[in-house]
Amino acid sequence: MKIGFIGLGIMGKPMSKNLLKAGHEVLCFDLNKAAVDEVVAAGAKAAGSVGEVAGECSFIITMLPNSPQVAAVAFDKGGIADSAKPGTLVVDMSSIAPLAARDIHNRLKEKGIRMLDAPVSGGEPKAIDGSLSVMIGGAQADFDEALPVLKAMAGSVVRVGEIGAGNIAKLANQIIVAVNIAGLAEAMTLSAKAGVDPELVFEAIRGGLAGSTVMNAKAPMMLDRNIKPGFKINLHIKDLGNIMDTGHGVGVPLPLSAAVLEMMHALRVENMGDADHSALVRYYEKLANCEVKRQ
């Protein structure tokens, strides 16, 4: 299948490469020429504009930072709404506000263009190995059509409900990830400050009830003092902002999400917005005046 892919960031690059490995033809576009060149080197073709992608492909994936960028790609002059043929299926794999997803869907529908909201979880490592979790909102028939393509990039693909439901599921995911990382950072800092090797604490507890995919992924990064981003603090701030807006909109208090959001804002003030979200441990280290590291 010929697939248009718009957005070649940390996640989009490996995702598009996995489509190529699965035998799909990929026509890609991004404002970052280096990212485009890298995907072209893997076998894709480069487009000169969003409009070129939309004009040539009846199946388009977007993987962009937030709601405004998705709306711009969809509705700016020469964008998807102007250039795509009726019946085109847009699979937005960005993590955006659920209400924004519904609005973009409704506006595209007026042009005869279909849409799924399909945010992902797993970060760069799972984008690379093709084992992402994809949470989808949209019509069942559109989901069924997209499923074979999405399986080239994911280990789990679940339709949660109608349009917007995918991003509700992603927000729920991001609450759990953020609070898990903060709890892990707090526990590792307590261990280090108390004079107990945090690596041994991690090994002791990882097989019990506290164990999790988050712990297994992020504890080694904390211990190695590795803050190279698999998922940036700035992006998690964006997600937590969408979480708070959605929670307030439907009448759900979110005190733990609010607390972690403020921790991440504090790290951004310290110029760590582009660090991995496991850098939450640095927030605790500053409070406790200690370092979490391998001994």
Q: Give the three-state DSSP class for 150.
A: helix
This prediction's pTM: 0.89
Tell me: pLDDT of 230 over 90. no
Percent of the chain with pLDDT over 70: 100
Neighbours of 109 (CB within 10 A): 12
Beta strands 114-117 and 45-46 are unpaired
Would you give the DSSP letter of residue 96?
Answer: -
Tell me: pLDDT of 234 over 90. yes
Neighbours of 88 (CB within 10 A): 21
Predicted confidence band of residue 197 (pLDDT cuts 50, 70, 90): very high
Contact 239, 171 (CB under 8 A): yes
Phi, psi of 52 (to 5 degrees): -65, -45
Structure tokens at 115: 């849409």
**Which residues does residue 125 pair with via DSSP β-bridges, in sequence order?**
none
Domains of the chain: 2-162 (3.40.50.720), 168-288 (1.10.1040.10)
Average pLDDT on 94-102 reads 94
Tell me: pLDDT of 123 over 90. no
The whole-chain average pLDDT of the chain stands at 97
**Which residues does residue 3 pair with via DSSP β-bridges, in sequence order?**
26
Average pLDDT on 204-227 reads 97
* The predicted structure's pLDDT at residue 51: 97
109 catalytic per annotation? no
Catalytic position from the list 170, 218, 232, 238: 170
Contacts of 33 (CB under 8 A, 6+ apart): none
Average pLDDT on 191-207 reads 98
